[in-house]
Every structure is written in structure tokens, then in C-alpha cells.
């Protein structure tokens, strides 16, 4: 539709892993696009495939990964999966960069911070040691590290968690990537530091005009930061919309359940949380029907036998995959029917307290 091609196009991406237990379908048919300078938030529980999704986009999967035919990832019009190793080396860093969850393990403990930042500058841009150091100093200032000159000569263990994450951001930004992928960048950090890092990412993104994929399990983190949100469950995208639409018209029961399980400050203390009962499915199995059905309060016969596809809800850019979307009359009927029998079609006991 848009005249300009989006920066990133992911089309029916599937990533499987060959494991001793069988083929594990970590990502099973995900499509989305991302424009230049835009931020998309990808939300889901552990094991929903969100990290594998971005690793597939970057093409940094382990050797037992299988990407079946028909999966396409176009970045800036180029298919990233056909890059040779040497092309890929220059692709990472200058085009796409990534920040990981734990800043301690993503930094090399025995190299000084300055060396780690300048490494990619010297490699990709062919800068001299002197030039690279100057650029590193600039980056340190940009990511808000106090006393940057001194810090450049320090080792990661001498920095606090928040400072280390700032260093990894500096490394990611060193060669001006067009896309920054932040994989749970604040999960290992305190709330106060989390806010600092998210604020920093937002201001850098604006300043540098990068696109960003922000991965998290907390809807609160993406609410104020992403323009669009994709909710993933068991390797599938179950709902995508722009942030305001998503929060005002949650359609998918999983999105609703995720939202309800967040403890809110506005609520009185000892408010019972609406936890999601059960666990995500084992992805080695052949899954039939809606993958969320066993944990869903609204599940009906159809949910167990048929698999819903993502479809447009009528609102621009809002797509969801549920036969009984939240807020619809069908949904209310489904819930009433389940409540009458006390059990959903998938066997979830609605009367039991939400334990396990």
C-alpha cells in the first residue's frame, strides 16, 4: 500500500529446531512489517518464540535451526537469509544491531569497555585506533555515561547493571544501524533503571531515526514506547494493532489475560490478580486448534478443532486470531455457556481458583 517499501518485511516466517525430542516449532508462521524509524513492541511469555523470531530476522540461529521454504525476511529490499557469511558480517552492526537481556553476559568480562566499543567501529568503518576511540567517547556521552573517559578504561564488572546496559547500547549504535533490536533490554534491571534505559532508547531512536523492535513480556513496558504492538503466543502472532487500539479494544483473550495479570498501583492492596492458569503448550507436539484454547476462559468446540488465522477486525491495522474475540456478542455467549457448565470446551475448570 505504502509507496515506499517498509524497512523490514517478515512474511510467513517459520523457524523450527531439530531437537532430540522431535521438531520444535518455535516460530510458526509470523508476518509483520516495520517502517523506517518506527517502533514495534513484541510481547509474549517465555517460550512464545519472540526471541527466536528476532534471531531469525538477524540470521543468528544455532546450527540445528531449520527455516522451511516459504519463509521470507526482507530487510531494505534484500533477502537476509541469502547473505553469505562475509556479507552477513558487515550486515550485523551496520544495518541491524541487537541488545540482549543480560548486560553482564553480553559483554566480554576480560576486555576493557573502550576496546569493546571500538572493535566494531574499527572493523566495519576501518577507522584508526585514535578515530575509533573518539567515536567511542562520543557514544559514551550519547548514552549518558558519566565520566566517559575514565569509564572507557574500565572493565564491565566495575560498572553497575544500568551502566553496562548503556555500554551494550553504545556498542549497538556504534555503526549507526537502521534497525535496533532490543531483546528484553530491561528485564534484568530495577524499575528505576528500567525507566532510565527505556527513556534513553526512546530519545536515541528519535535522534538517530532508527527503527526498533522492542521485545518484552510486560505490556506495561511497551505501552508508552511502541507505536505498534504484536502479541505472540506459542510461536504465532495472535494480535497486532497500534498501541492505542490494542489497549482500548483488546480482542484476543490472551492479550486480555496478559493485561489482567499485571499488578496495578491503582488497585487496592490484596486485590486478587487474574492469573492465566496453566502453561504454554509443548511446541514439539503437533498442535491442533487454537493454541491458547486450553487456558482460555471462552474456549468452545470450534477452538479445539479449527485453528484461527489472523484476520482484520475492521479497524485499520488491527488484526487478531480468535473466533470469539473479547468484546463481541459471540464472546459473551461463549463465556456464559462456559460459566453455566463450569468448564470450558477444552476442559479448563472455571470454578477452581486460578492455581496452576
Partner 1 sequence: MAGTGKVHMRGEDALVAVEDLVMEFPAGRRAVVHAVSGISFDILEGETLGLVGESGCGKSTTGRAMMQLPSPTAGSVRFDGVEMTELSKEDLRRTRTRMQMIFQDPISSLNPRRKVKDIVAEGLSIWHNDAGDTAVQKVNEVLDAVGLDPEVVSDRRPHQFSGGQCQRICIARALVLDPKVIICDEPVSALDVSVQAQILNLLEEMKERYGLTLVFIAHDLAVVKNVSDRVVVMYLGKVCEVAGPDTLYAHPAHPYTDVLLASIPEPDPDHPVSDRQITGELPSPINPPSGCRFRTRCEKVQDLCSEEEPELREIAPDHFVACHFPNEVPVSVNGDGDGDGS
C-beta of 92 vs 259, nearer to partner 1: 259
Interface with partner 1 (CB under 8 A), residue from 5, 264, 282, 288: 264
Indicate whether 247 belongs to the interface with partner 1 (CB under 8 A). yes
Indicate whether 85 belongs to the interface with partner 1 (CB under 8 A). no
Q: How far apart are CA 95 and CA 259, in angstroms?
A: 34
Indicate whether 23 belongs to the interface with partner 1 (CB under 8 A). no
Indicate whether 81 belongs to the interface with partner 1 (CB under 8 A). no
DSSP string, 69-93: TT-EEEETTEEGGG--HHHHHHHHH
Indicate whether 274 belongs to the interface with partner 1 (CB under 8 A). yes
Shortest Cβ 140–partner 1 spacing (Å) = 15
Indicate whether 335 belongs to the interface with partner 1 (CB under 8 A). no
Near partner 1 in 144-183, by CB under 8 A:
146, 160-163
Which helix H or strand E contains 200, and what residues bound it?
Answer: helix 191-208
Interface with partner 1 (CB under 8 A), residue from 261, 305, 339, 341: 261
Which helix H or strand E contains 240, and what residues bound it?
Answer: strand 236-242
- Phi and psi dihedrals of 157, rounded to 5? -65, -15
C-beta of 157 vs 279, nearer to partner 1: 279
C-beta of 75 vs 259, nearer to partner 1: 259
Which helix H or strand E contains 325, and what residues bound it?
Answer: none
Identify whether the C-beta of residue 295 lies closer than 8 Å to the C-beta of residue 261: no
Shortest Cβ 78–partner 1 spacing (Å) = 33
Interface with partner 1 (CB under 8 A), residue from 244, 305, 339, 341: 244
Number of residues that bind partner 1 (CB under 8 A): 53
Interface with partner 1 (CB under 8 A), residue from 9, 11, 45, 76: 45
Indicate whether 223 belongs to the interface with partner 1 (CB under 8 A). yes
Give Cα 37 distance to the centre of its chain: 17
Strand order in the sheet with 228-233: 96-99, 179-183, 211-216, 39-43, 228-233, 236-242, 319-320, 311-312
C-beta of 76 vs 218, nearer to partner 1: 218
Near partner 1 in 293-332, by CB under 8 A:
none
Q: What grid cell was written down for 64?
A: 540445528
Tell me whether residue 268 is exposed, middle or buried, using C-beta atoms within 10 angstroms of its C-beta: 0 to 12, 13 to 18, 19 or more.
Answer: exposed
Residues 6+ apart with CB under 8 A from 222: 41, 43, 214, 216, 229, 243
Indicate whether 276 belongs to the interface with partner 1 (CB under 8 A). yes
Q: How far apart are CA 300 and CA 331, in angstroms?
A: 10
Shortest Cβ 61–partner 1 spacing (Å) = 23
Q: How far apart are CA 290 and CA 293, in angstroms?
A: 5
Indicate whether 218 belongs to the interface with partner 1 (CB under 8 A). yes
Enumerate binding residues for partner 1 (CB under 8 A).
Answer: 45-46, 146, 160-163, 190-196, 198-199, 202, 217-221, 223-225, 243-244, 247, 257-259, 261-277, 279, 353-356
Amino acid at each position: 500500500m505504502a509507496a515506499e517499501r517498509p524497512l523490514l518485511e517478515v512474511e510467513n516466517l517459520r523457524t523450527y529446531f531439530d531437537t532430540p525430542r522431535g521438531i520444535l516449532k518455535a516460530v510458526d508462521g509470523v508476518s509483520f512489517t516495520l517502517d523506517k524509524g518506527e517502533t514495534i513492541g513484541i510481547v509474549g511469555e517465555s517460550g512464545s518464540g519472540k526471541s527466536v523470531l528476532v534471531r531469525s530476522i538477524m540470521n543468528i540461529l544455532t546450527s540445528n535451526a531449520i527455516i522451511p521454504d516459504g519463509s521470507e525476511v526482507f530487510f531494505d529490499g534484500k533477502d537476509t537469509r541469502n547473505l553469505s557469511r562475509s556479507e552477513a558480517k558487515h550486515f550485523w552492526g551496520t544495518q541491524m544491531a541487537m541488545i540482549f537481556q543480560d548486560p553482564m553476559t553480553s559483554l566480554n568480562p576480560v576486555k576493557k569497555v573502550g576496546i569493546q566499543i571500538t572493535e566494531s567501529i574499527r572493523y566495519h568503518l576501518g577507522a584508526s585506533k585514535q578515530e575509533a576511540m573518539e567515536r567511542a567517547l562520543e557514544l559514551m556521552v550519547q548514552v549518558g555515561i558519566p565520566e566517559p573517559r575514565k569509564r572507557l578504561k574500565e572493565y564491565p564488572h566495575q560498572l553497575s547493571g544500568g551502566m553496562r546496559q548503556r555500554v551494550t547500547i553504545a556498542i549497538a549504535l556504534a555503526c549507526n544501524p537502521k534497525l535496533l533490536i532490543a531483546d528484553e533490554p530491561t528485564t534484568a534491571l530495577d524499575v528505576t533503571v528500567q525507566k532510565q534505559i527505556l527513556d534513553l532508547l526512546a530519545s536515541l531512536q528519535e535522534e538517530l531515526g532508527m527503527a526498533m523492535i522492542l521485545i518484552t513480556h510486560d505490556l506495561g513496558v511497551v505501552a508508552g514506547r511502541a507505536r505498534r504492538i504484536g502479541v505472540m503466543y506459542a510461536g504465532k502472532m495472535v494480535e497486532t494493532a497500534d498501541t492505542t487500539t490494542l489497549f482500548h479494544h483488546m480482542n484476543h483473550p490472551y492479550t486480555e489475560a496478559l493485561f489482567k495479570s499485571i499488578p496495578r498501583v491503582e488497585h487496592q492492596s490484596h486485590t486478587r490478580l487474574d492469573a492465566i492458569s496453566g502453561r504454554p503448550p509443548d511446541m514439539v507436539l503437533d498442535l491442533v486448534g487454537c493454541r491458547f484454547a486450553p487456558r482460555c476462559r471462552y474456549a468452545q468446540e470450534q477452538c479445539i478443532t479449527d485453528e484461527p488465522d489472523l484476520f482484520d477486525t475492521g479497524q485499520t491495522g488491527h488484526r487478531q486470531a480468535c473466533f470469539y474475540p473479547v468484546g463481541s456478542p459471540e464472546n459473551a455467549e461463549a463465556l456464559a455457556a462456559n460459566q453455566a457448565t463450569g468448564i470450558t470446551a477444552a476442559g479448563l475448570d472455571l470454578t477452581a481458583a486460578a492455581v496452576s
